[in-house]
Amino acid sequence: MINKWIVLLGLCLSACTNFDYQSEGKDVPTAGKITIWADFGDSLMLTQMTEVFVSKYPKAFLQFKFTSETEILKAVNSGICRVCILHRDLNSQEKQALENRSFKVRSAKFARSSIALVANKKSPVNVISESELKQGLIGNGGRKEVQWVFDRLGGNNYMYFYYRYKLADKPAPDVVSVQGPYAVLDRVMAHPESIGFVGINSLADKTDTLAMFYQRKVKILKVITDSTEASYPFQSQIFTRQYPYLQDVYIHDLQGYSGLGSGLAAWLCSQPGQIMVKKSGLLPCFDAGRTVEVNTEE
């Protein structure tokens, strides 16, 4: 169920297009200027979403700062970042620490994503098991002579495995860090021994020429677990939860008032925002589906 504040703000979106800038930060749900912090891996998806949002609300100015999850959390804790998008909810300790400093945290889950494993076209690897991957990231074997390539060791994807597999603070020798999701894909294209990790939105948008270019140039691997058959990281397997490496995507609003951050959150959970989520290859949280009318008259 959508949070009550999202419902209320959704109503505001249709009514406050012409508001003046009267709130604490000189922004309202559909107008003003804010900076939103997000992971590098979401740059394509969020840039496209911003274009649609701003076309509807031309007085809104959304400036994104793309960096790593660890840097986003540092900015949140320092008070610099007031709106961010992460591939996880803030945990109870993080929320309590912010609330103890009088930061009101409002979070909305608007999508579910997956972490795709990609290999060089010449690689003999087509399927990888979860146990092989875990051992490789820990540094206890796994597939021999494989380099595991991540977009920054503080990014959403690496931190997911860091917490899931309780990795050591010092990465395993075969773990490689590069700058950005497309740098991951370039590395995989150039090195047959590499297996890279990227958010599915970097590959799945069939209307984006860059995403389609890379999907033709790399091989997306199936992943097998002890309890499921090998599966791909696409929407159907995200929906059924067959694919093991899934992330819920949240927008976190710490503005403390009804500003542009909460307006964007409401829009992301609305039908237009959810359509953009689906277009990007992610699974919408509030998919409105479609209505089909059947004519029974002869």
Domains of the chain plus CATH, in order, are: 4-112+249-284 (3.40.190.10), 113-246 (3.40.190.10)
Structure tokens at 238: 């995200």
How much is the average pLDDT of 163-191?
Answer: 94
Q: How confident is the model at residue 26 (pLDDT cuts 50, 70, 90)?
A: confident
Distance separating alpha carbons of residues 247 and 75, to the nearest angstrom = 22
Instruction: Tell me the residue length of the chain.
Output: 298
Tens digit of each residue's pLDDT (9 = 90 or more) over 116-142: 999 999 999 999 999 999 999 998 766
C-beta separation of 285 from 110 below 8 A: yes
Q: How confident is the model at residue 225 (pLDDT cuts 50, 70, 90)?
A: confident
Tens digit of each residue's pLDDT (9 = 90 or more) over 248-272: 999 999 998 999 999 999 999 999 9
Structure tokens at 55: 């076309």
Check pLDDT > 50 for residue 22: no
Give pTM, 2 decimals: 0.86
Q: How confident is the model at residue 35 (pLDDT cuts 50, 70, 90)?
A: very high
pLDDT (0 to 100) of residue 7: 52
How much is the average pLDDT of 235-251?
Answer: 95
Q: How far is CA 67 from CA 112, 188, 202, 259, in A?
A: 20, 22, 16, 23
pLDDT (0 to 100) of residue 224: 93
Q: Tokens 């589906």 — which residue?
A: 289
Distance separating alpha carbons of residues 76 and 101, to the nearest angstrom = 12
